[in-house]
């Protein structure tokens, strides 16, 4: 009998990639910093000539700073020099430099630099820079190194979109269709996505295609959705085909076509599509001798730089997929990968020893803490605080200790995220229920004991609270689904 991945794996907590900073949005924002104007450098520019350039041409200085920071244009990469040059341009009042430097500093691990980044983005936004408006809007939408403010986020997205920024049009359109952060206005959201797509934003085509395929707040039209995915693919963007292939594969709908869509996406440069195929092969979701295909797809994923292959190799060893099961051997695989800086492996490793799997990996919080020291250089201060609190949560089992841990959580608002809440629920579901009980009682929506137990009275209160979320799916008998609990904890 094959082991299938159908939402939760038999005897296993499904692997979740915890977002440690800002995920794909940060990558998009950072990529957007690169200006379209080409920079031809025949030789590296000295500091003195750079200073002269700042006085006469801040734009040239910005481009030179970006060249140093990212290591292109014929110069050796020197991030510090690049930041200094961009700072000079920003100090000269150059708005694009304020925008570019602000976006970089916003994602820095240092809190003071983050604040400086926000200040620069605020300045550039007020000057009408659509990139700065879009970047700041995203930070406010997700609460990235700044207090979350969806109202102001929408206002900034509106300004950037009106200025012709297609990424802002796309994200504003997405949020208006979803209705989870902004008030839903699906027709306008679709119009914005179509506008961005017509301007060449292939990601907008993909986003619209996913809504049409699922019928999310719009009429279901799978034929048009496929056409949009293919249009994006013709422009070199395989994200839509990857999404569709994965969706079909996990739902076991036309496995041959699902595999083909994923292959096409991989051939278009979507390395994650090869990872999805490897995962599908591992769990038996591909046609033919599915598991025999794992090695080939895993090798393609590795060649594409996908670090989650190490997690899959560990999962195969944990559950004995095509080999003898061994928890200790899986841990060795993860440690070796983490030693090289593989963050997927590191986070999965810590989660495994923190929680245990009640079979061949023991719950060892002290060992998880030791990993924090061993791999400290790969973690930001916020990430370490996240993991430390989750490890401590895995050990507490009494109400007094719940209270102490709750106080620590309350003074670290930066940890109040969806991903952290998922991690905490995996570490200690009773503690999370305790926190929700306490919050609901304070709001006058729960009258039972605060004991961390999912009693019927607690479940009724959670279901009622869940109905107050913008997304009310899974609010019935599945209200204790990790995604619903995380949404309640992080709201």
Span 281-287, average pLDDT: 96
> Is pLDDT of 10 > 50?
no
Helical residues (DSSP H) of 202-326, grouped into ranges = 202-214, 222-234, 239-250, 255-267, 271-283, 294-303, 309-319
For 232, what's the count of Cα atoms within 13 Å in the CB-facing half-sphere? 29
In this prediction, residue 153 has a pLDDT band, given cuts at 50, 70 and 90, of very high
d(CA 15, CA 311): 9
Contacts of 203 (CB under 8 A, 6+ apart): 167, 170, 232, 237, 239
d(CA 145, CA 283): 38
Which CATH code of 1.25.40.10, 3.40.50.300, 3.30.70.270, 1.10.10.60 fits the domain covering 23-163? 1.25.40.10
pLDDT at 55: 55
* Tokens describing residue 224: 């048009």
pLDDT at 219: 92
In this prediction, residue 49 has a pLDDT band, given cuts at 50, 70 and 90, of low
> Is pLDDT of 169 > 50?
yes
Strand ranges, E, within 6-46: none
In this prediction, residue 430 has a pLDDT band, given cuts at 50, 70 and 90, of very high
Q: What angle do CA 369, 352, 328 make, to 5 degrees?
A: 100
pLDDT at 483: 87
Element spanning 426, H or E: helix 418-427
> Is pLDDT of 392 > 90?
yes
> Exposure string (b/e) for 41-67, b if CB count within 10 Å is 16 or more?
eeebbeeeebeebbeeebbbbbbbbbb
Span 344-365, average pLDDT: 96
Span 270-296, average pLDDT: 96
pLDDT at 75: 86
d(CA 462, CA 448): 12
d(CA 470, CA 287): 38
* Tokens describing residue 247: 């969706």
Q: pLDDT of 57-83, one tens digit each? A: 899 999 999 999 999 888 899 999 999
Q: What angle do CA 347, 356, 393 make, to 5 degrees?
A: 75
CATH 1.25.40.10 residue ranges for the chain = 23-163
Span 263-267, average pLDDT: 98
In this prediction, residue 467 has a pLDDT band, given cuts at 50, 70 and 90, of confident
d(CA 463, CA 146): 30
In this prediction, residue 143 has a pLDDT band, given cuts at 50, 70 and 90, of confident
Span 107-121, average pLDDT: 93
Q: pLDDT of 224-251, one tens digit each? A: 999 999 999 999 999 999 999 999 999 9
d(CA 121, CA 98): 6
Contacts of 186 (CB under 8 A, 6+ apart): 176, 177, 179, 217, 218
Q: pLDDT of 290-316, one tens digit each? A: 999 999 999 999 999 999 999 999 999
pLDDT at 33: 47
Q: What is the widest separation between alpha-carbon atoms in the chain?
A: 73
> Is pLDDT of 391 > 60?
yes
pLDDT at 251: 94
> Is pLDDT of 102 > 50?
yes
Q: For the chain, what is the mean pLDDT? A: 88
Contacts of 452 (CB under 8 A, 6+ apart): 399, 402, 430, 431, 433, 434, 437
d(CA 90, CA 117): 11
Span 316-337, average pLDDT: 97
Helical residues (DSSP H) of 107-215, grouped into ranges = 111-126, 130-142, 150-162, 166-178, 186-198, 202-214
Residue 169's Cα: distance from chain center in Å?
Answer: 20
pLDDT at 216: 82
> Is pLDDT of 181 > 60?
yes
pLDDT at 156: 98
Which range among 125-134, 250-259, 266-275, 472-481 shows the weakest confidence by mean pLDDT? 472-481
> Is pLDDT of 148 > 80?
yes
> Is pLDDT of 11 > 70?
no
In this prediction, residue 195 has a pLDDT band, given cuts at 50, 70 and 90, of very high
pLDDT at 417: 85
pLDDT at 415: 85
Is residue 364 within 8 A of residue 372, CB to CB? The reply is no
């Amino acid at each position: 009998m094959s082991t299938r991945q159908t939402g939760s794996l038999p005897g296993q907590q499904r692997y979740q990639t915890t977002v440690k900073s800002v995920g794909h949005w940060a990558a998009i924002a950072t990529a957007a910093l690169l200006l379209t104007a080409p920079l031809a450098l025949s030789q590296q520019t000295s500091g003195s000539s750079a200073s002269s350039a700042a006085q006469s041409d801040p734009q040239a200085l910005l481009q030179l700073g970006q060249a140093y920071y990212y290591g292109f244009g014929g110069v050796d990469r020197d991030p510090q020099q690049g930041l200094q040059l961009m700072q000079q341009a920003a100090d000269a009042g150059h708005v694009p430099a304020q925008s570019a430097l602000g976006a970089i500093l916003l994602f820095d691990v240092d809190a003071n630099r983050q604040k400086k980044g926000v200040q620069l983005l605020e300045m550039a936004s007020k000057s009408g820079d659509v990139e700065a408006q879009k970047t700041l809007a995203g930070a406010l939408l997700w609460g990235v190194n700044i207090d979350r403010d969806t109202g102001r986020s929408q206002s900034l997205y509106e300004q950037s979109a009106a200025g012709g920024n297609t990424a802002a049009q796309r994200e504003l359109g997405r949020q208006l269709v979803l209705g989870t952060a902004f008030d839903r206005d699906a027709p306008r959201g679709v119009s914005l996505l179509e506008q961005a797509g017509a301007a060449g934003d292939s990601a907008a085509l993909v986003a619209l295609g996913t809504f049409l395929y699922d019928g999310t707040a719009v009429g279901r039209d799978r034929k048009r959705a496929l056409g949009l995915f293919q249009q994006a693919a013709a422009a070199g963007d395989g994200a839509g085909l990857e999404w569709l292939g994965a969706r079909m594969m996990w739902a076991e709908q036309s496995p041959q076509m699902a595999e083909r869509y994923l292959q096409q996406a991989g051939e278009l440069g979507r390395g994650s599509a090869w990872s999805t195929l490897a995962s599908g092969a591992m769990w038996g979701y591909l046609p033919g001798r599915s598991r025999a295909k794992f090695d080939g797809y895993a090798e393609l994923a590795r060649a594409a730089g996908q670090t989650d292959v190490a997690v899959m190799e560990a999962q195969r060893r944990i559950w004995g997929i095509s080999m003898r099961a061994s928890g200790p051997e899986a841990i060795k695989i993860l440690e070796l990968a983490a030693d090289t800086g593989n963050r997927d492996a590191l986070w999965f490793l810590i989660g495994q020893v923190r929680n245990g799997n009640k079979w061949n990996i023991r719950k060892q919080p002290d060992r998880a803490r030791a990993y924090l020291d061993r791999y400290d250089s790969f973690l930001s201060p916020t990430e370490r605080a996240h993991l430390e609190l989750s490890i401590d949560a895995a050990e507490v089992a009494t109400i007094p200790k719940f209270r102490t841990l709750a106080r620590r959580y309350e003074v670290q608002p930066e940890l109040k995220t969806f991903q952290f809440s998922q991690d905490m629920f995996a570490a200690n579901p009773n503690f999370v229920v305790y926190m929700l009980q306490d919050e609901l009682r304070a709001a006058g929506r729960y009258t039972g004991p605060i004991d961390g137990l999912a009693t019927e009275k607690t479940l009724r209160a959670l279901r009622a609270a869940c109905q107050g979320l913008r997304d009310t799916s899974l609010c019935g008998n599945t209200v204790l689904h990790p995604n619903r609990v995380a949404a309640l904890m992080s709201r």
